[in-house]
Amino acid sequence: MSIKRPRSLKWSLVLRIALLQCAMLTLIIVGILGALLATGLIPHDYEDGTMDVLADAVARDAGGKLVLRETSDLAKLRSDVPDLWFIIRDKQGQRLQEGTVPAIFQPFAGLLDTISDARIDHSIGESAPPDAKIRWTETAAGNLQIFTGTKGGLSLLRLLGQAPQFFLQGILPLAGLMALATLFATPWVVRGALSGLGHAAAEAERIDIDQRGVQLPLEDVPKEVTPLVKAVNAALARLDKGYERHKRFLTDAAHELRTPVAILNTRLASLPATPERARLLQDAARLSTLTDQLLDLQRLDRQTSPFDKVDLVAIARGVIVDLAPMAFSAGYEMSFEPEPEAVFATGDRTAIERAVTNIVQNAIEHGGRAGKITVSVTAPAVIEVRDEGDGVPPAERERIFEPFYRLRPQDHGAGLGLNLVQEIMQLHGGRIEILDGKPSGARFRMSFRALPA
């Protein structure tokens, strides 16, 4: 299923504004023309009514002679103007005449060869309209000269017939210029109007599981978008409250588990030494470790004290001393390989100690119960834990940091141990990597921010 591309606000506004401008121009011009027609202003001033009807009606017959077709406009003109008169001629001398040319205009009939365009009136000065007109005009019969009176009116159908040409030649170019101006103005307007959303988006980038309490700013946000920003802020507040309730529940549950787990360990320790007792002690230890991991996660989540200068060599050595008996009893050899005598970093000593402990315990659990577990510390600030087990397939190296992820169905999984390690490394601005062991097994590398010795 293809994802539909989001629409551009800029182009959507440009298109809609351009269409609106074009429609408004058309309505305004049509409204003006309608008002002029309704009030009679156009017929009063229009002087080409008779000439338009004659130009539409004139044609040529099969022999090429000029003829006048009986159109409805021509019939109406004859009805409205009983004394209709006209002379129509072409450049070859063919002539079509009807009616009697008034005596005052008869001298012009003999001078038509020398006149191309004329407005003739019996009174002194310019009148609107004149009493007669002479004009060469394009018709279906070719370019013809028409000499006639001006008593005909404006045809509404003819006016409407000119609307497409008027739209293409008048309205469309003007609308195009306005759309071009809109094209350049709209991005500037949109950027200015939505500048507040840019600040809100930058603040939204800060939202993270470890960065709670963030609210999107409402300053400079357009009023139309304010309800959306307020709804997002309300949703963030609800999520923060739900997250806090979830954290409190986990903390309370971990605290409540510590007492019954301790009692269980005490009672198991008092039982006779049998294989079943040993398995039960291992299960109880795993449960105790999980409880401690839950508490560690809550403590890291509330970490507020500044980091101190810590010695990674000393931390790794302490973990080796604590876990060596467990490793020996599980069938492993232990090796500690610090390159320098001290490697310093900034961090929380307890958290780093927990991270190294979890990595070593993971090696003990999943290293195949044979071979050697090696802990090394190298400059500038790197701790590595290597085992000689089956290793971790490259495709699974990101997923094993998920809580309770099982590499194989029969495994117990890493619980929260590796997830806790990843949280600790992120808290310290470092990273945890899984590499291939040499010659086999898994190699966990923890890289911290180094300090000079």
Same domain for 317 and 415, yes or no, is: yes
27 is a domain residue: yes
Question: Could you say which of 276, 302, 328 is where a domain stops?
Answer: 302
The pLDDT assigned to 383 comes to: 92
326 and 431: one domain?
Answer: yes
- Do 186 and 214 belong together in one domain? no
**Mean per-residue pLDDT of the chain:** 79
Report which of 444, 440, 393 is spatially closest to residue 418, judged by C-alpha positions: 444
Structural domain for 442, as ranges: 305-447
Residue with the larger pLDDT of the pair 319 and 32: 319
Domain contains 1: no
Same domain membership, residue 171 and residue 34: yes
Q: Is 375 found in the same domain as 328?
A: yes
Q: Is the pLDDT of residue 415 over 70?
A: no
Q: Determine the average pLDDT of the residues in 335-343.
A: 87
For residue 147, being part of any structural domain is answered with: yes
The CATH number for 215's domain is 1.10.287
Tokens coding 369: 């119960």
In-domain check, residue 452 = no
Is residue 317 scored above 90 in pLDDT?
yes
**At 418, which CATH number?**
3.30.565.10
- 51 or 33: which leads in pLDDT: 51
Q: Are residues 298 and 349 in the same domain?
A: no
pLDDT of 313 above 70: yes
Single residue among 168, 197, 226 that ends a domain in this structure: 197
Residue 189 lies in a domain: yes
Does 117 reside within a domain?
A: yes
Q: Which two tokens stand for residue 181?
A: 């101006």
Regarding whether 312 and 425 lie in a shared domain, the answer is: yes
Residue 142 lies in a domain: yes
**What are residue 143's phi and psi, to 5 degrees?**
-80, 115
pLDDT at 312: 92
Q: What is the pLDDT of residue 121?
A: 82
Query: Is residue 72 predicted with pLDDT exceeding 90?
Result: no
Parallel/antiparallel/unpaired status of strands 58-60 and 86-89: unpaired
Confidence of residue 144 (pLDDT cuts 50, 70, 90): very high
Residue with more model confidence, 375 or 248: 375
**Domain match, 324 and 185 both:** no
Task: Verify that 58 and 102 share a domain, yes or no.
Answer: yes
Last-in-domain residue among 153, 181, 215: 153
pLDDT of the residue at 193: 65
177 is a domain residue: yes
HEC letters along the chain: CCCCCCCCHHHHHHHHHHHHHHHHHHHHHHHHHHHHHHHCHHHHHCCCHHHHHHHHHEEECCCCCEEECCCHHHHHHHHHCCCCCEEEECCCCCEEEECCCCHHHHHHHCCHHHCCEEEECCCCCCCCCCCEEEEEEEECCEEEEEEEECCCCCCHHHHHHCHHHHHHHHHHHHHHHHHHHHHHHHHHHHHHHCHHHHHHHHHHCCCECCECCCCCCCCCCCCCCHHHHHHHHHHHHHHHHHHHHHHHHHHHHHHHHHHHHHHHHHHHHCCCCCHHHHHHHHHHHHHHHHHHHHHHHHHHHCCCCCCEEEEHHHHHHHHHHHHHHHHHHCCCEEEEEECCCCCEEEECHHHHHHHHHHHHHHHHHHCCCCCEEEEEEECCCEEEEECCCCCCCHHHCCHHHCCCCCCCCCCCCCCCHHHHHHHHHHHCCCEEEEEECCCCCEEEEEECCEECC
pLDDT value of residue 307:
79
Identify whether residues 145 and 274 lie together within a single domain.
no
Q: What is the CA radius of gyration of the chain?
A: 48
For residues 386 and 429, membership in a common domain is answered with yes
Is residue 301 scored above 70 in pLDDT?
no
Q: What is the pLDDT of residue 258?
A: 74
State whether 337 and 219 are in the same domain: no
Number of domain units in the chain: 4
| pLDDT of 413 above 50 | no
